[in-house]
Amino acid sequence: MASYRGHLTFAGLLGAGYGSLALLEGNGDWGPALIAAGLTTLGGLLPDLDSDSGVPVRELFGAAAAVVPILLFDRVKDLCQQSTEQTLFVLAVLYLFIRYVLSYIFKSFTVHRGMFHSVPALLIAGLATYLLYPSDDVRRRLFLSGATMLGFLSHLILDEIYSVDFLGARLHPNKYAGSALKFFSKSWLATLTTYLLLGFLAWRAWLDGR
Ligand SMILES: [Zn+2]
C-alpha cells in the first residue's frame, strides 16, 4: 500500500462514496457525482507531484495541463473579448506553460515528502479547486473542493501509516522530509512559500465570495 496504485485505489474508493453523496440531491444530474469522484481520486495522487520518479508525475502534469485550460475557457474568452482565436492561443500557451515550465519549476524546487505533503498544501489544493471551478453555485464549488481535500487527506494519512514511497520502494527520507501531516518543514523557505500561496488563495476566495 501507499504506492502509486495504493493511493489510486484508496482515493478512488473514497471518491466513489463521496461522489454518490451528490446523487442524494435526487435531481438526476450525475455530472457533479462523477466530477467529485474524479477530483477525490486526483487529490489522492496530487501530493506525490513532488516525487521525481517519472511517469505518474508526468501524467499528472499532463492531466493538469489539459484540464486547467478547459476550466478557464469561459474566463479567458471574456478576457479576450470573445475572440475564439485569441482564446485558443492563450489556452495553448497555458497548456505548454503547465506541461513544461511549471513542471520543470516544480521538479527543481520540491523535495519529496516536503511541504507538498502537509496540511497547508491540502488547503491550497481545496482553495485552488474552489477558485478554478467554473460555476456560480457556491455549494457545488464547496462540495468539489471538499472532494479534492478528501483525496489529498487520504494520501497524507496513508503516507503517514506506511513509510513507503510512490513506486513502492522503501523511503529514504530527505532531511527536509517529515511527517506527511505536518504544518511546517525544516526548510523555512518552503514553509514561507507555502503559507504565502495559501494566504493569497484564501484572500482570492474571500474576494470571490463577496
Ligand atoms: Zn506521498
CA 201/CA 149 separation, integer angstroms: 15
Residue 192 backbone phi and psi in degrees, to 5: -60, -45
Confidence label for 176 from pLDDT (cuts 50, 70 and 90): very low
Cα separation, 108 vs 96, whole angstroms: 18
| Per-residue model confidence as pLDDT tens digits over 142-152 | 999 999 999 99
- In the reported structure, the alpha carbon of residue 165 is separated from the centroid of ligand 1 by a whole-number distance in angstroms of 6
Distance 113 CA to ligand 1 centre (A): 6
CA of 202 to the centre of ligand 1 (A): 24
The answer for residues whose C-beta is within 8 angstroms of residue 77's C-beta and 6 or more apart is: 84, 87
* CA–centroid distance, residue 21 to ligand 1 (Å): 27
> Alpha-carbon distance 133 to 14, whole Å?
21
- What's the confidence (pLDDT) of residue 174? 47
Per-residue cell: 65: 495541463
pLDDT reported for residue 169: 53
